[in-house]
Amino acid sequence: MSEMSATRKIVVIMTDTQRTDMLGCYGNAGMKTPCLDSLASEGIRFDRAHTCQPVCGPARSAIFTGTYPHSNGSWGNTMALGDNVKTVGQRLRDNGFHTAYMGKWHLDGGDYFGLGRCPDGWDDDYWYDMRRYLEELTPEERVRSRKVATNREGIDESFTFGHRVSDRAIDFLEKFNDEDFLLVVSYDEPHGPHLCPRPYCDMYRDYEFPKSPNVRDTLEGKPEHHRVWASPGRLAEDKDALKVMSPDFFGCNSFVDYEIGRVVDAVDEFARDALVIYTSDHGAMLSSHCLGGKGPAMYEEITRIPFIVRWPGVSPAGSVCAHPVSHIDLVPTIMDAASLPIPKLLEGGSMLGTLADPSVRTNEVVFIEFTRYEIDHDGFGGFQPVRAAFDGRYKLAVNLMTSDELYDLESDPHEMKNLIGSAEHAGIRDGLHDRILGWMNRTRDPFRGYYWERRPWRTDAREATWDYTGFTRQRENEEYELRQLNYGTGLEMKEAQRPK
């Protein structure tokens, strides 16, 4: 990249559980998000951005390591990153950046709130996970902070986690704006319990979220685990009478927009030329396809996420990118933007060309996965491994334990008609399938094997063999590890990806 487009000041802002249509700039005028709408007007709004896994921890693992959940070990909530996995904080810290992280982390293997300990790579003076927040509260305040009913009590914004996160981010920008820095501001909001002060908690009392046509999905021809997830009660629900209403959730959504605005105002005051990246970890079903929350499905409601980039002098203001992009590309993009070499270990690519010209396509296909929601209980379907590919129009989801899906989002944007058995679409389906199998090999997916290839609709699948492809890939984490040795020779590997 040219020196003209290099930056040594980078701000990453993220939320938890925020659909694209929970932002006004993505077309829902009923959602009041003026700060994010303004950010989009000053940069690029990405219309086909996708998470790597629609679950909090695994999504973050890809965002902050540049490797997929199946590669970094955090493929379910409460599963810590592998000991040899390096975050973008460590990588930039080791290249002279002041790196600070405040907000939800969810990557230390602890409970929802975290361990309260600053991971290597980040400034401990600014580290502020949810456990540190709770430790500032009395026992009574802790309980209040976890109940949505607290909103009715008329709390002050200073009581919320989000406000305290913003305060620390603003303090960092004021004190260290003359340094090279990476600042991550990670809100738990609008995730439950949706804590927010007035007027936000009262703004949406009578608001009905627009019902997508797919609330009427009968799930006929869909995977069994979707129907189990939906339950007979939801499937039988009167869809005419259904009202998608969640006033505290939507109020908290507008509240976190306000908090983001406070941080962006500080960026404007202290580091106006900084590269600002905003996104969310995943969405929420909100009764689409008769489902709630998030989990083992590849529907757009939970896999497509808001993604906005503002980079003064580089990214054209008020522009839109219609090409598919992925969270997996964030770390290589940050490193490239900072004029740092992109490590071989990273599994995405730099989006720098797209940031300068949104018509430039970074990815032919983006990949999404699911393996498990959590490991400490089975309240979310247990082990449901899914691997998916999306090319900007067609999406293929291979659901290992049940049946598979193919959707044409151009003719069927609400993903109602499963085309997996369509002879007319067999070539497209099989091509995406080949891409998934190749991706699983390249990224050392520990769950790969012949069973992903031998699907009922894949008539040219190879016979099952114990060796399958015989493919191997050794780690190339050369910035932090000795180069690995070839099993057959004991010498340093030359080709990391090869038959074994």
Residue type, 486: N
Catalytic site includes residue 106: yes
Give φ, ψ of 284 to 5 degrees: -145, 145
- Nearest-10 Cα torsion for 294, 295, 301, 306: 80
Count of helix runs (H) and strand runs (E) in the chain? 14, 13
Residue type, 220: E
Measured CA to CA, the distance from residue 197 to residue 153 in angstroms comes to 9
299: number of CA atoms within 13 Å, CB side?
31
Residue whose structure tokens are 């009578």: 206
Measured CA to CA, the distance from residue 320 to residue 201 in angstroms comes to 31
47 contact partners, CB below 8 Å, separation of at least 6: 20, 26, 320, 321, 322
**Among candidates 186, 154, 165, which has minimal Cα distance to 59?**
186
Could you tell me the two tokens for 326? 């992925």
Indicate the pairing of strand 44-50 with strand 319-326. parallel
Does residue 490 sit in helix, strand or coil?
A: coil
The catalytic residue among 106, 226, 414, 433 is 106
Residues forming a β-bridge with 365: none
Could you tell me the two tokens for 405? 């899906």
Residues forming a β-bridge with 75: none
Containing 486, the helix (H) or strand (E) segment is none
Does residue 100 sit in helix, strand or coil?
A: strand
The catalytic residue among 25, 56, 196, 252 is 56
Could you tell me the two tokens for 224? 């069994």
Cβ pair 432, 389 in contact under 8 A: yes
Catalytic site includes residue 163: no
Residues recognised as catalytic: 56, 106
